[in-house]
Each structure stands twice: as C-alpha cells, then as structure tokens.
C-alpha cells in the first residue's frame, strides 16, 4: 500500500459504521479525494477534531482499494472564527459546497482551487464587516469560475461577441450567456440583469485584489446584487441546487 502526502481542506463527512468516518477532502495535489478516517469516533483517536469540515491539514494518506485511508493529519489551520457566528458559517459553507459540487478528482487546477479556497476561508474568518466577507466570497466565485474554465466575460458581449470601446456601453449581465452583454442583446433577453459600469469595475477589482480598499467596494447594495448576479451565473453551470444560498438570503 503506497503512502502519499498532500495538503487538503475537509469538505464533508459521513459516518461509516461505529467508529469510522468517510471524509471528502479537496487536496492541493489531486483535487477531490474521498477517504476513510478510521477510528475517528473513538475518544483516543489521534485524528481528533482535525477531520472536521473546514479544517486544513497536511495529510499522510494510504492508497486503499476503494477509498484511501487517512494515516496522519497535522493541522495547518482550523479557521476557528468561522464557527463563531452564523453569517461567517453560512458563507464558508457556501464556498465549501461550491468546491464539493464543481471539484473533480485529479483536477488540473487543484493547486489554484485549493489556494483560493484557503485564502477565502482565512479571510471569512478574519474579516469583521459583512461587506468584507461578501467581497471575499465574490472574489472566490469569480476565481473559481476562472479555474473551472467558466470565466465570467467582462470584456466583450457574451452573446454576440461585439467589441465595444467603452465599458459604459454595457448595461446588462446575462447569467445564461456567461457575462456582460451589449445593449442590443440585453434588450431582447428578459433573463438579463441591468447593470452599470460600477459592477464591471467591482468584478474586475475582486479578481485582482483580496481586500476591498475603495469606498465603492463596500457599497452593501452593490455587493449584494453583484453576489446575486454571480449566484445566478454559477447556478446556470450546474444542474444541482445548492442549499446554502437560501440560508444566506434569510440571514441578510
Ligand atoms: Zn451583443
């Protein structure tokens, strides 16, 4: 049985019999892995709380016939502040849910996806304002889409591909088409959101910066509606319905 090491964030756990758990992890080297944490429910387990959802660990795994086995877990970060309030918890679950949904095993972009998930969980746990948390999650969605090959189109019309000199001429966003659309395409589709150039700037800045540093970056209404536009964008790329966006709407 070959052993291998990787950094990973825990996404989900299931009970397996009396003492064991199956843990779905997102690993930096191999993307999604389903593994078994043996004996984890016993009080003397060395894995202890390290295999809880959100925790990031340096893991030693053994190749199993069906599922790999967790041999050792050394904590990198447990993002403990995430568990302290419901807002943080809901946004963090949302990010985890997205990675669980879109991540694959042997993801070619696993390093990028792991790194942006780690950065986002870290920022959700340390940011104090809800606007900052929204920023972190919005950045996460934009970057994740990019790594999955669904980059949000912000330069040309996502429908007719026409090039416009000025961004201010784009007044619509189509989640279905995958980005900004020109006035002509936006007008004929009732599924487009009306936007203005502040949204495009916000999306571009969120891709480039991990912290909201301008006054406009913390405009709560703008952030919420951008968040919802991206939520629609993401839901068009999967048949499965996510649970957490509904919880987030109740909270906000
Ligand atoms: Zn167009």
- Cα of 156 vs centre of ligand 1, distance in Å, is 8
- Cα of 221 vs centre of ligand 1, distance in Å, is 27
- Cα of 183 vs centre of ligand 1, distance in Å, is 7
pLDDT at 193: 87
Tokens of 146: 């990019």
- Cα of 176 vs centre of ligand 1, distance in Å, is 13
pLDDT reading at 249 higher than 80: no
- Cα of 53 vs centre of ligand 1, distance in Å, is 43
- Cα of 165 vs centre of ligand 1, distance in Å, is 13
- Cα of 170 vs centre of ligand 1, distance in Å, is 9
- Residue-wise pLDDT tens digits, 97-154: 999 999 999 999 999 999 999 999 999 999 999 999 999 999 999 999 999 998 999 9
- Cα of 193 vs centre of ligand 1, distance in Å, is 14
- Give a three-class secondary structure readout of the chain: CCEEEEEEEEEEEEEECCCEEEEEEEECCCEEEEEEECCCCCCCCCCHHHHCCCCEEEEEEECCCCCEEEEEEEEEECCHHHHHCHHHHHHHHHHHHHHHHHCCECCCCHHHHHHHHHHHHHHHHHCCCHHHHHHHHHHHHHHHHHHCCCCCECCCCCCCCCCCCCHHHCCEEECCCCEEECHHHHHHCCCEEECCHHHHHHHHHHHHCCCCCCHHHHCHHHHHHHHHHHHHHHHCCCCCCCCHHHHHHHHC
Domains, in order of start, for the chain: 3-77 (2.40.50.140), 80-251 (1.20.1440.120)
Return the higher-pLDDT residue of 187 and 195: 195
- Cα of 216 vs centre of ligand 1, distance in Å, is 27
- Residue-wise pLDDT tens digits, 50-77: 999 999 999 999 998 889 999 999 999 9
Average pLDDT over residues 14-29: 96
- Cα of 17 vs centre of ligand 1, distance in Å, is 56
When the pLDDT of each residue in the chain is averaged and rounded to a whole number, the result is 90
Q: Which residues surround ligand 1, an ion (CB under 5 A)?
A: 157, 159-160, 162, 182, 185
pTM of the model: 0.93
pLDDT reading at 189 higher than 80: no
């Amino acid at each position: 049985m070959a052993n291998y090491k990787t950094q990973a964030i825990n996404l989900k756990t299931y009970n397996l019999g009396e003492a064991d758990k199956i843990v779905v992890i997102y690993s930096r080297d191999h993307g999604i892995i389903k593994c078994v944490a043996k004996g984890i429910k016993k009080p003397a387990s060395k894995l202890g709380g390290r295999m809880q959802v959100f925790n990031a660990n340096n893991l030693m795994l053994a190749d199993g016939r069906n599922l790999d086995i967790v041999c050792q877990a050394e904590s990198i970060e447990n993002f403990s502040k995430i568990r302290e309030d419901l807002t943080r918890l809901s946004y963090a679950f949302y990010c985890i849910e997205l990675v669980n949904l879109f991540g694959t095993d042997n993801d070619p972009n696993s390093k990028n996806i792991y790194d942006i998930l780690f950065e986002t969980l870290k920022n959700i746990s340390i940011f104090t304002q809800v606007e900052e948390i929204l920023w972190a999650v919005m950045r996460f969605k934009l970057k994740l889409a990019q790594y999955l090959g669904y980059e949000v189109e912000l330069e040309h019309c996502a429908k007719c591909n026409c090039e416009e000199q000025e961004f201010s001429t784009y007044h619509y966003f189509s989640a279905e088409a995958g980005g900004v659309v020109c006035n002509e395409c936006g007008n004929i589709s009732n599924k487009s959101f009306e936007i203005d150039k502040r949204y495009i700037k916000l999306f571009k800045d969120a891709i480039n910066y991990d912290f909201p540093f301008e006054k406009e970056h913390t405009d709560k209404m703008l952030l919420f509606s951008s968040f919802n536009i991206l939520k629609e964008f993401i839901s068009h790329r999967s048949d499965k319905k996510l649970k957490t966006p509904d919880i987030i709407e109740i909270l906000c």
